[in-house]
A and B are shown apart, each in its own frame.
Chain A
């Protein structure tokens, strides 16, 4: 019984972290965008404009939930959540600290599920998230939305392949598929983190994650200059809000996964810094990647659709395979 209660508490905390970060991420994104563009960003709502996202949310919730007459109602309604839910499930795989910690006399593992096929689970859930945009775009019965959905489907599927192959290098080195064990394999200081031996894999994974998240320079599925708003064209009110929310939750999850796989997860860069709790290190690393995503988004122009495919299939895929082959060769020889 205690174990069950602990599990419930952990789930609530995980969801609180993922959801609780989103309003602040949206606020940071707008503030950063403002600074990049030599303006102030939001300033009115709350101190330094920090309550802007909550105001936006209140606005979105009070709007009419509009479903176009020609749309496929049930699919249209459910599509935003399909983008949203897998992200939470992925979050349960991420360790936030060491195992067997003594909290108020209970032995607690600071991870929801130490799942032996964690990496595969993460990739599978990532593939599920594709259905959100694809079904949403298809059900909207709008040509722009359909184009956006097709692009999004093709893009996410092709980048998942290079993404998966980029992780295999780490799996070969750590000899495990479990996120907890991958973090343990990186113990002992930042020189043991996998981004150093797996630099190629790290770069491929990071770029592919931008494509997975549909952000600039790979945000072809939305591409507001080309496809109006892509698969979100017909969405309004809170359903649109949930699409946006889902994207930011995905961003949180993706940055957590990159930090865990390549940057030592909750581990400190030096052993003597272990006094600082693990989750602070993890959140710090996540914020670093989130800032990188924002920086890139507000700086670069967008690729064209076929150029994106060229990069995915002709550069990243061969590079990931070569990286895997070299890693495997070195591991087997050493």
Chain B
């Protein structure tokens, strides 16, 4: 393994035992007095910091939340229904619009599921490119999250500082596939195009530069006493809560659970690179921040390793002409490739009968795709198991007993994007 050293994360020490954490949570819920009248406010869908068109109807006792009722669906576009009238290839760009902050990871999750259904191989180079893409998404997602999260506590400048560095990642995407936000870069059986000339060097330079910037952020955030006061010990969401509400991703790892699909069920090239699963034990807002911070360092490390080990070969599977696209360059030169391209575009791939579920670790949590196929080139039923949907459903458990000022930070700390939840 290459010797790319990130800042070694200090071994996490639990600041409180699970019993203490449960007790704290219970006490915070007891702050509500029985004989008071509540005021009801509607947080969202036009509230400035519900991170999208999310609505929570919140009953307040003074500043303390008594009861919160989530309401989602304001961004519903019928994506799952649309999948039932489109061929497998044509649905792929729609997955961009789920979690539009990390759209390649969404493409990837969908492509992995379809490949599992068709039982086709992905060339090794394509798997490496996908790994790099996933981690770039993780970086840009977590940078955006970090900026917004600190802004939720009122520090507005930090938001734009994070945006400045997210730009490096977006520039890489632009060079790679032309799009900065909605990539549609994955294809069934590989990716849309090979890495352009000079991209590897540019990416390596950016990834060697990024950890220095991350260390700067850490200094800015972790030495800020106001930020620590607002996050340490706030918004405790224990492992039992996470499991009960199916909260996954960094929020789950912040409770001490080492569940990361990249490690437990390796896909793409994750079994060929060396990385650590970021874990924290305190289950509070600050732990969730720490987990994401560590994940960003790990992402840089994974990308650098992938660039070092990047194998030669095809970027898209060429052994299954009835299921994948040909190389784009060949389409105008080779008649067989042209026919293949035409058939794939207008008729769609040949898919066996059956059903399949495949989940991968996207930046926000576990993203699963469930497909039922009746043997035609369009899915009979496609269900997207998206992380934000479950994060939103945990609203009452997350909010109750907390102060209205903390609610925004707590909700932000589980990381949501409403395109992902409302599909």
**A residues in contact (CB < 8 Å) with B:** 33, 36-39, 143-144, 146-147, 216-217, 219-220, 223-228, 298-307
Q: How many A-B residue pairs have CB under 8 A?
A: 83
Given the complex, which residues of B lie within 8 Å of A225, measured CB to CB? 48-49, 151-154, 408
Given the complex, which residues of B lie within 8 Å of A305, measured CB to CB? 63, 403, 405
Do residues B405 and A301 form an inter-chain contact, with CB atoms below 8 A? no
A226 to B412, CA, bound (A): 12
Do residues B153 and A38 form an inter-chain contact, with CB atoms below 8 A? no
Tell me if A's interface is mostly helix, strand, loop or mixed. loop
B47 to chain A, nearest CB (A): 6
Given the complex, which residues of B lie within 8 Å of A226, measured CB to CB? 49, 404-405, 407-408
A303 to B229, CA, bound (A): 8
- Known contacts A38-B164, A225-B153: A304-B40 contact under CB 8 Å: no
Do residues A301 and B226 form an inter-chain contact, with CB atoms below 8 A? yes
Decide yes or no whether B230 CB sits under 8 A from chain A: yes
A203 to chain B, nearest CB (A): 16
Do residues A301 and B155 form an inter-chain contact, with CB atoms below 8 A? yes
Do residues B226 and A302 form an inter-chain contact, with CB atoms below 8 A? yes
Decide yes or no whether B316 CB sits under 8 A from chain A: no
- Known contacts A143-B39, A225-B151, A225-B152: A301-B224 contact under CB 8 Å: yes
Tell me if B's interface is mostly helix, strand, loop or mixed. helix
Do residues B408 and A303 form an inter-chain contact, with CB atoms below 8 A? no
- Known contacts A143-B41, A300-B226, A301-B230: A224-B157 contact under CB 8 Å: no
Given the complex, which residues of A lie within 8 Å of B157, measured CB to CB? 33, 36-37, 298-299
A300 to B229, CA, bound (A): 13
Given the complex, which residues of B lie within 8 Å of A220, measured CB to CB? 405
Do residues B164 and A304 form an inter-chain contact, with CB atoms below 8 A? no
The 3 closest A-B pairs by CB, nearest first: A302-B154, A37-B160, A301-B155
Do residues A303 and B41 form an inter-chain contact, with CB atoms below 8 A? no
Contact bitstring B145-168, A, C-beta under 8 A = 1, else 0? 000001111111100110010000
Taking CB atoms and an 8 Å cut-off, the chain B residues in 35-88 that contact chain A are 39-41, 47-49, 60, 63
Q: Give me 20 A-to-B residue pairs in the complex whose CB atoms sit less than 8 angstroms apart, sorted by A's number.
A: A37-B161, A38-B161, A143-B39, A143-B60, A219-B154, A223-B154, A225-B151, A226-B405, A228-B47, A228-B48, A298-B156, A301-B150, A301-B153, A302-B226, A304-B229, A304-B230, A304-B405, A305-B63, A305-B405, A306-B403
Known: A225-B152, A305-B403, A305-B405. 4 other contacts (CB 8 A): A143-B60, A147-B60, A147-B63, A226-B405
Do residues A299 and B155 form an inter-chain contact, with CB atoms below 8 A? yes
A154 to chain B, nearest CB (A): 11
Do residues A147 and B150 form an inter-chain contact, with CB atoms below 8 A? no
A5 to chain B, nearest CB (A): 47
Do residues A217 and B226 form an inter-chain contact, with CB atoms below 8 A? yes
Decide yes or no whether B406 CB sits under 8 A from chain A: yes
Contact partner of A301 (CB less than 8 A), chosen from B41, B227, B403, B406, is B227
- Specify the chain A residue showing the minimal Cβ separation from B150: A301
- Known contacts A225-B151, A303-B229, A304-B229: A38-B160 contact under CB 8 Å: yes
